[in-house]
Amino acid sequence: MKILVTGCNGLLGQKMISLLASVPEVTVIATARTPLAGSWSVPFELMNITDASAVARVVTAHAPDVIVHAAAMTQVDICEQNKEECYRVNVSGVENMIEASRTCNAHLVHVSTDFIFDGKRDRLAEGDQPGPVNYYGQCKWQAEQLVVASNISWSIVRTVLVYGIIPGVQRSNIVTWVKQSLEQGKQIRVVNDQWRTPTLAEDLAYGCYLVAKKRANGIYHISGKDFVSIYEIAMQTAAFFGLDDSLITPVESAALPQPAKRPLRTGFDISKATSELGYHPHSLAEGISVLASQIGR
């Protein structure tokens, strides 16, 4: 099976390369808009997903069986402040991937987000009604609708609050941000009224692989299994690394001056992925341990 992955310099993209490169029956083609990070010995193509002609050229040249579309603009506040760019990447870019998938008859695995939901209830199942509360979520929901309405073979993988670490990538996530801040003795404020099912990047990559391997049509919720507040994630991180949790101050979302509103409760029901795909993620404690082992702690 030949699998082309977009966004290979991101956290998910790097984990996808690591996983797929270890599967003998898979040939992975890595793509990104900048030179590939790391020292991977896999085919690589520079490809900006917003450039329709570039997408068509690369995808046609490699004729993959499956495309895992991991590239996206995911910084929620930046999306709120730069709506034109957010739309160009998260909607128009998806249109380009749909057209390329159609041209080469590839199965498209589109990676989406819990932020398509309004946050008024949790343990969300695949059939629950979206209602995004910020522009990032609106664009991701619009992209999902484009995928569903297309006449291609498709899957949508939604995920929640991905964390993990890769060498040479500076962008932080909740676990690495808390760890680094506390190690530097910084006081940090962490919301205690937002609840998630945080997802280890390796688990998300494996979930995407399971979907790709089966070319499983439909929507799948792929996340961690523990439903916790973001404050609890911070406290567990501090405890695991033996850091001073008195530096962590719990606050409500309204106390943080963020341009984009966040949904409050978006934990996923992953029973469909468990039963249909055999997906079994790490607990939060296990996930933090995996991350720690990768940085030698």
Q: What are the C-alpha distances in Å from 153 to residues 15, 100, 211, 275?
A: 24, 12, 12, 21
Residues 89 and 238: their CA atoms lie apart, in Å, by: 35
44 closest CA partner among 24, 66, 21: 21
How far, in Å, CA of 141 to CA of 113, rounded?
A: 9
**DSSP assignment string, 92-115:** IHHHHHHHHHHHHTPEEEEEEEGG
Say whether pTM exceeds 0.95.
yes
CATH of domain 2-166+198-225+268-282: 3.40.50.720
What 3-state class would DSSP assign to 154? strand
CA 159 – CA 150 distance, rounded (Å): 22
What pLDDT, on the 0 to 100 scale, is given for residue 102? 97
Ramachandran class of 3: left when φ > 0, alpha when ψ lies in -120 to 50, beta otherwise: beta
Distance CA 49, CA 87 (A): 12
Task: Quote the DSSP letter at residue 268.
Answer: B
167 beta partners: none
> What is d(CA 251, CA 194) in angstroms, rounded to the nearest whole number?
10
Local confidence pLDDT in tens for the 297 residues of the chain: 999 999 999 999 999 999 999 999 999 999 999 999 888 899 999 999 999 999 999 999 999 999 999 999 999 999 999 999 999 999 999 999 999 999 999 999 999 999 999 999 999 999 999 999 999 999 999 999 999 999 999 999 999 999 999 876 666 899 999 999 999 999 999 999 999 999 999 999 999 999 999 999 999 999 999 999 999 999 999 999 999 999 999 999 999 989 999 999 999 999 999 999 999 999 999 999 999 999 876
Strand partners, 124: 268
CB 138 within 8 A of CB 91: no
131 closest CA partner among 145, 144, 120, 147: 120
Report pLDDT for 172.
83
d(CA 39, CA 17): 11
The answer to whether the beta carbons of residues 204 and 222 sit under 8 Å apart is yes
Query: Cβ contacts of residue 254 below 8 Å, gap of 6+?
Result: none
How far is it, in rounded angstroms, from Cα 211 to Cα 276? 10
**Cα distance between residue 18 and residue 164, in whole Å:** 13
Q: Is 193 helix (H, G, I), strand (E, B) or coil?
A: coil
Give the integer Cα–Cα distance in Å for 45 and 108.
18
Phi, psi of 30 (to 5 degrees): -90, 140
Q: In angstroms, what CA-CA distances link 75 with 56, 87, 129, 136, 231?
A: 27, 13, 23, 8, 20
**CB-neighbour burial class of residue 152 (10 A; exposed 0-12, middle 13-18, buried 19+):** middle
Residue with token string 């590839």 = 106
